[in-house]
Amino acid sequence: MVIPFWLDRPAAEAVEVGLLADQLGFGEIWMGEMLHFDAFALGGALAVRTRQATITVGPLALGLRDPVQMAMGVASVGVLGDRPARLAVGASSPAVVEKWHGRNWGGEAERLSAAVALIREVLRGDRTNHSGRFESHGFRSALGPQTAHITVAASGPRMMRAAAACADRIVLNLVPVEVVQRATANGKPVAVWLVAGVDPTPAGRAQVARQLALYLAAPGYSQALTAAGLNEAVTAARQGVRPSELAAMLSDDQVGQVAALGDQGEVARRVDSYREAGVEVMVVPVTAGDPAGLRTLSALA
């Protein structure tokens, strides 16, 4: 289960969703990072309040934290939760990296292997002696050796090739089943973030459309969404049309190309279609009209 960061919901709902997922027996809880909580802070909070779920922090943008910081963060979550935690990294987007944080975006595929190598070095408990794109010499974590399970968010061919060379797992977001089938060809385990809503209300469907609108012009996502039949909306997004107008352009059928919305049977069939393509399904629950995703998560559990 992926903790959703819907823009129209209270930030604290993230904690409720995570606790509910653990109680229902979901085996892994993911948390990315957008406009709400620092991902490691939320991961630590959930690690000490949940009992069995594996905590996966990320995907985190490669351009916003250095590899030593990311290794320290995921090690901290693992120690606080008294069970191994996992890390996910990715490129993010120019809007997040450049406009929000004032960092340079670009070349993430080239920096990925060096970043992952240094993260693994720190998590092994080695004293760092790393040169090249990332420099680190003489650091050794006082938390001791930790499990190093690193997922890479791959939203384009270059990142996909780089991820295949260094990741433990690849994660895709907002992709149709056809794209998933191609991604599994490299032999790495693949996970997919899939927005899901059982018996969604009109507010729930609108929530998904508004969030989808934010990704239409993002590098990597735009190609996958064009392949899913949203080419008109992608073109409009690239031309600067406002997200609210983009959301209004999206039909239920178009949103359904990259989401699982409907009654319990429809959602189950949609989830199974991804599983049959050979991937793990990470559900992102709709919460408008379904606080904390209770109806959706209970049905899927």
**What are the tens digits of pLDDT across the range 64-90?**
899 999 999 999 999 999 999 999 998
Q: What percent of the chain has pLDDT over 90?
A: 73
Q: What is the mean pLDDT of the chain?
A: 92
Q: Tell me how crowded residue 252 is: count the other CB atoms within 10 A of its CB.
A: 13
Q: Tell me how crowded residue 158 is: count the other CB atoms within 10 A of its CB.
A: 16
Looking at residue 105, its pLDDT comes to: 73
- The radius of gyration of the chain from alpha carbons, rounded to an integer in Å, stands at 19
100, pLDDT greater than 90: no
- 260: in domain: yes
- 294: in domain: no
Number of domains in the chain: 2
d(CA 252, CA 246): 13
**Pair 55, 203 in one domain:** no
Phi, psi for 129 (deg, rounded to 5): -150, 70
Structure tokens at 300: 């899927």
- 53: in domain: yes
**Pair 49, 104 in one domain:** yes
Phi, psi for 151 (deg, rounded to 5): -100, 145
Helices (H) and strands (E) in the chain, counts: 14, 10
Cα dihedral value 242, 9, 294, 73, nearest 10: 100
- 271: in domain: yes
**Pair 64, 103 in one domain:** yes
d(CA 24, CA 117): 35
**Pair 114, 11 in one domain:** yes
d(CA 177, CA 258): 8
Looking at residue 190, its pLDDT comes to: 94
Which pLDDT band holds residue 275 (cuts at 50, 70, 90)?
A: very high
- 102: in domain: yes
d(CA 239, CA 131): 42
- 293: in domain: no
CA 31 to chain centre: 7
**What are the tens digits of pLDDT across the range 109-132?**
788 999 999 999 999 999 999 888
CA distances from 130 to 30, 109, 229, 255 (A): 29, 19, 44, 44
d(CA 191, CA 56): 12
**Pair 123, 213 in one domain:** no
Q: Which amino acid is at 176?
A: P
State the DSSP code for 2.
B
Looking at residue 108, its pLDDT comes to: 78
CA distances from 9 to 53, 58, 204, 256, 289 (A): 24, 20, 11, 22, 11
**Pair 15, 143 in one domain:** yes
d(CA 252, CA 77): 38
**Pair 215, 259 in one domain:** yes
**Pair 161, 14 in one domain:** yes
Mean pLDDT, range 21-33, rounded to an integer: 96
**What are the tens digits of pLDDT across the range 169-222?**
999 988 888 888 777 767 789 999 999 999 999 999 999 999 999 889 887 788
d(CA 217, CA 234): 6
- Outline where 184-276 has alpha helix (H): 202-213, 221-227, 231-238, 243-249, 252-255, 264-276
**What are the tens digits of pLDDT across the range 48-58?**
999 999 999 99
**Pair 140, 246 in one domain:** no
Range with the poorest average pLDDT among 178-182, 248-252, 276-280:
178-182
d(CA 128, CA 124): 10
- 295: in domain: no
Q: What residue numbers bound the domain in which 225 lies?
A: 192-287
Mean pLDDT, range 161-175, rounded to an integer: 91
For the purposes of burial, counting CB atoms within 10 Å of the CB of 64, is it exposed (0-12), middle (13-18) or buried (19 or more)?
middle
Q: Which amino acid is at 254?
A: Q
**Pair 149, 212 in one domain:** no
Looking at residue 226, its pLDDT comes to: 87
The DSSP element (H or E) to which 284 belongs, if any, is strand 280-285
Within 13 Å of residue 51, how many CA atoms lie on the same side as its CB?
Answer: 5
Instruction: Read off the CATH number of the domain in which 154 is found.
Output: 3.20.20.30
Mean pLDDT, range 161-169, rounded to an integer: 92
**Pair 144, 203 in one domain:** no
Looking at residue 271, its pLDDT comes to: 95
Looking at residue 149, its pLDDT comes to: 97
Of 167, 202, 229, the last residue of a domain is: 167
- 177: in domain: no
Of 128, 150, 167, the last residue of a domain is: 167
Q: Tell me how crowded residue 44 is: count the other CB atoms within 10 A of its CB.
A: 21
**Pair 222, 96 in one domain:** no
